[in-house]
Amino acid sequence: MRTYETAARRWEGVGPYYAMFPTSFADDVVAHYTEPGEVVLDPFAGRGTTVFSAAHQGRRGLGIEINPVGWIYAKTKLCPAQKDAVTRRLNELRELSSDNERQAQAIPAFFHSCFSQQVLEYLLTAREHLDWQYNRTDRTTMALLLVHLHGKREASLSNQMRQTKSMAPDYAIRWWQERKLKPPEIDPAAFMIKRLEWRYAKGLPEVQESEIHLGNSELHLPRLSDMARRRGQPVRLLFTSPPYFGLTNYHYDQWLRLWLLGGPPTARRVPGTTELRGKFENVARYKGLLQNVFEGAAELLSSKGVIYVRTGQDVITYITTREVLQNVFPGHQLHMTPRPYTRPTQTSLFGDVEKKAGEVDLIMTPM
Residue-wise pLDDT for 169-181, tens only, equals 999 999 999 999 9
Total domains in the chain come to 2
Averaged pLDDT, 5-28? 88
Name residues whose C-beta falls within 8 Å of residue 141's C-beta, 6 or more positions apart in sequence: 81, 86, 89, 90, 93, 126, 130, 132
Same domain (yes/no): 218, 308: yes
Same domain (yes/no): 99, 194: yes
Same domain (yes/no): 222, 165: no
Q: Residue 57 corresponds to which amino acid?
A: Q
Same domain (yes/no): 209, 132: no
Same domain (yes/no): 239, 166: no
Single out the residue in 199, 233, 265 at which a domain terminates. 199
Terminal-residue alpha carbon distance, the chain: 36
User: Which band of pLDDT confidence, cut at 50, 70 and 90, is reported for residue 252?
Assistant: confident
Residue 348 has pLDDT above 60, yes or no: no
87 versus 2: which is more confidently predicted? 87
Q: What percent of the chain has pLDDT over 90?
A: 76
Averaged pLDDT, 209-237? 87
Same domain (yes/no): 62, 123: no
**Domain membership flag for residue 256:** no
Q: What is the mean pLDDT of the chain?
A: 90
Same domain (yes/no): 140, 73: no
Q: Residue 240 corresponds to which amino acid?
A: T
- Reduce the DSSP state of residue 305 to 3 states and report it: strand
Residue 9 has pLDDT above 80, yes or no: yes
For 254-265, what is each residue's pLDDT tens digit?
Answer: 999 999 999 999
311, 318 contact by CB (below 8 A): yes
* Residue range(s) defining the domain that contains residue 33: 7-78+204-245+280-366
Q: What per-residue confidence (pLDDT) applies to 66?
A: 93
Same domain (yes/no): 180, 302: no
Range of weakest confidence among 64-78, 172-186, 257-271, 339-353 = 339-353
- As to burial, measured by CB atoms within 10 angstroms (0-12 exposed, 13-18 middle, 19+ buried), residue 237 is buried
Same domain (yes/no): 136, 235: no
Same domain (yes/no): 140, 126: yes
**Domain membership flag for residue 50:** yes
Averaged pLDDT, 138-146? 98
Averaged pLDDT, 120-135? 97
Sheet holding 332-339, edge to edge: 211-214, 60-65, 39-42, 235-240, 301-312, 359-366, 332-339
Residue 367 has pLDDT above 60, yes or no: yes
Give CA–CA dist 54/40, Å, rounded: 7
User: Which band of pLDDT confidence, cut at 50, 70 and 90, is reported for residue 278?
Assistant: low
Single out the residue in 168, 199, 230 at which a domain terminates. 199
**Domain membership flag for residue 26:** yes
Q: What per-residue confidence (pLDDT) applies to 246?
A: 82
The DSSP element (H or E) to which 62 belongs, if any, is strand 60-65
The DSSP element (H or E) to which 326 belongs, if any, is helix 315-328
